[in-house]
Structure 1
Amino acid sequence: MITHPKLQLTVDCADPERLAVFWAAALGCEVEPPPAPFTSWRAYWLDQGLPEEELGTGEGSDSVVDPRGVGPRIWFQQVPEPKTVKNRLHLDLGVSGGRGVPFATRKERVLAEVARLESAGASRLRVEESEESGSCFVVMRDPEGNEFCVH
């Protein structure tokens, strides 16, 4: 019998809490709460015997989960080295409604989402659009420079 593994995406970063808050807002997810009865992940991990020096800074709110339980958990893992090259894997956020929606409407939806994400801390790299081919997407960076697309 083949079992399917539970999927978790892991993103290396400098500031896990900052990225967890950004991506929770970007994806309509929530920052994962610590297990009861703990009030913070830091308190939970200390209780589990993890040494203080391994916890990094902050309260340890470093993951996001889909409140519907459908999407994967995303864990933001603190690493000492900065991002230096283009991502080999990136997220695509589909907000346009697809090719069955008129091009102008899709473009409007994409640009509205881009504006919302910019206000949450993302930055726009470039806009790719061609009414002729029906393509409209924006390449963006999260607050630590990880690329993603909005289409």
Structure 2
Amino acid sequence: MPEDELGEGDCSDSIIDPEGHGPRIWFQQVPEGKVVKNRFHLDVKVGGRREEVPLETRKARVDAEVERLVRAGASVVRVLSQPGVDHYAVAMADPEGNEFDVV
């Protein structure tokens, strides 16, 4: 829907896939604060594909993005890492407590 056709309660803030393949994701502010678990969860993928990028490189990329997000106001909730497992992620929260993972 073009921005000039937005209806009552709609918002104009969104992200879109520049290639036009993925969905448009809309962001809408609500007056209520967070009181329960998120209704959706985002993974911010910065590390690269497991099949293509070594774990240590993925960890370095994730840690660099986590540092940038902490400087921007996010906080670390927990690090998701286990010895012997080829996975690394950091659970974070934005300033309002909405959780997301950096992978």
TM range (shorter): 0.7 to 0.9
Aligned to 2:78: 126
Deviation of the 1:145 alpha carbon: 1.8
Q: How does 1:57-68 map to 2 (within 5 A)?
A: 61-68=12-19
Gaps of 5+ in 1: 1-33, 36-43
Greater radius of gyration (CA):
1
Gaps of 5+ in 2: none
SS in 1 for 2:68: helix
Deviation of the 1:85 alpha carbon: 1.4
Give the TM-score normalised by the residue count of structure 2.
Answer: 0.74
Letter in 1 for 2:99: E
Give the percent of matched residue pairs that are identical in Structure 1 and Structure 2: 57
For the Cα contact (< 8 Å) 1:103–1:131, is it kept in 2? no
Q: How does 1:7-22 map to 2 (within 5 A)?
A: none
Letter in 2 for 1:80: P
Letter in 1 for 2:54: P
- After TM superposition, the runs of 4+ consecutive aligned structure 1 residues lying more than 4 A away are none
Deviation of the 1:49 alpha carbon: 8.7
Asked whether 1:82 is paired with 2:29, we answer no
Decide which structure has greater helix share: 1
Give the TM-score normalised by the residue count of structure 1.
Answer: 0.54
Q: Number of aligned pairs?
A: 101
